[in-house]
Structures are given as C-alpha cells and as structure tokens.
Amino acid sequence: MAIPKTLLFLAVIIILPCAAQAQKYPLSNFVETLLPKPGSNDWYPFLEGTYTFKVSTKRGKLTIGEWDSNDYDNHVGVVVGNGHIIGTDEGEFEGELIFEDSAGETTLIKKGNFRFIFYYKHEVYFIDTFAPTRFDAPHLQTIELGALYKLVWQNNAYTYIKIFDFDEWPLSMCILNDDILLTSWNYCYRVHNLQKEIIFKKETIFSDTINRSFTFNSIAATDDRHIFLGVDGGYLQLDPVDKSYKYYKYKK
C-alpha cells in the first residue's frame, strides 16, 4: 500500500550533509595517473599523506571536495506530509527508524542502523545496515550485508516491506534519473526499477591494482557512462559499459 497522498514529496536526503560547506577543488588540480599495485614499493608512498576526496554533482557537473570522517552524520531523514521519518546509526548498539509527527510525538518503526532514507519514484525507501552477516573467508572478516526497504502506510501507521539484501552494506549513494547508484567496500551497484545489478566487483574490474583498503567514500554520476568515486588521493572515473576506469590524482 502506498504512503498517503497527503505526503509532501519534498525529500531531504541527508547523505553527506557537510558537502555544501567543504572546500571545493578545481578539476584542473587533478591529473590522470596510473595506480600502483597494492603492497608494491610505490603503494605506501602513494597513500602516505594524501588527502581523501569526495565527489558530488552540481547542475549536472562534477565537483570535488575534501572528505572528512565528520562528514558522516548518524542522523538521516526525510520530510513527509504529516511529520518526519528519522533514522539513526549507532553502530553495534543499534539505532532506530522513527516517525515524528507535527506535534513532536515519536513512534518506533524499526530497530537497526540507517544511513540512507530517500524518495524514489514518489515513494520513501531506506537502507538498514544492521543486518545479517556473512564470513568473507578470503579476507578473514565478517561482512554486514544490509538491505533495502520500502516505507508503507498501513492501518494508520508506518511499516515497511523488504525489497532485497545487499552483498555488502552500502557506504555511499546517489540517484541518477531512475537509477540508484551505491558503493560498498567491494561493490558498485545500480538499482533500476527496484532490480539490483552489480556494476562491478572491485577485485574483478581493478584486478590486482586496488585492494579493499582503497575505499569508495562517495559516488556521483553525470550520465550512464560517467560514474565518479571519491577515494584516497583523488577520484576515479568509471565507465560501467566497457568496464574501464581512470584515476585522477590530486596535484599537491
């Protein structure tokens, strides 16, 4: 069942709330560079003392800012016609997804950790990253999977429907036209009409050039063949059609 028609379809998507305030860097400050192999003599000097950059778009153009751990806000939310949907991420202690009405009264919808709440085709969706886990044997670590949910109005209350699980919980997202683009530690996803597609797996497209320590902290896109990822020392430009990429390193 859809959310009531009284909802205001004005989304307040809080993904990187400090992005508008961060210092911006001209694209001319970045030069295309070959990435060294992880563990090689060039790898650690390559990472040492580098800035970490985040990507976004403004009026359809790529913008680059400096990423900081403080950019992450553990409170996200959207405006709905009768109040707010608010999510928190409290790590191992588990956060909450709540509805706060116009009088300030709150109702619990779901326990979990919520990094993303957003409108997609006039409906509200959210991603819960406090989810079942799997053991990643090659990397000797436990991976939290995460899942996409749709918020629904039922019997005069908000509830939710699970759409699908992720292979790893998402770290960043953006919306391009009718596509939701997301990154995790090792994957880049495209969600079209609520169908999940893995655009690439890091170890496949980058072979031995990039390992899991090279984190995709943000994602932006200007069209289907120009997807940008914020990383250490610069940014990546990815073409998911021919599975190619270019790395642009910041010139100090």
Mean pLDDT of 37-63: 82
CATH of domain 24-250: 2.120.10
Dist. CA 102–CA 105, nearest whole Å = 7
Tell me the pLDDT tens digit for each residue of 11-31: 333 333 333 345 689 999 999
DSSP of 117-128, one letter per residue? Answer: EEEETTEEEEEE
Compare 44 and 193 and report the one with higher pLDDT. Answer: 193
* Domain layout of the chain by residue ranges: 24-250
Looking at per-residue pLDDT, the higher value among 43 and 58 belongs to: 58
**Residue among 149, 131, 142 at smallest CA distance from 89:** 131
Q: To the nearest whole number, what is the mean pLDDT of the chain?
A: 81
Pairwise CA distance, residues 30 & 15, whole Å: 25
- Is the sign of the CA dihedral 192, 196, 200, 202 positive or negative? positive
What does pTM read for this prediction?
0.81
pLDDT tens sequence across 134-163: 555 454 455 567 899 999 998 889 999 999
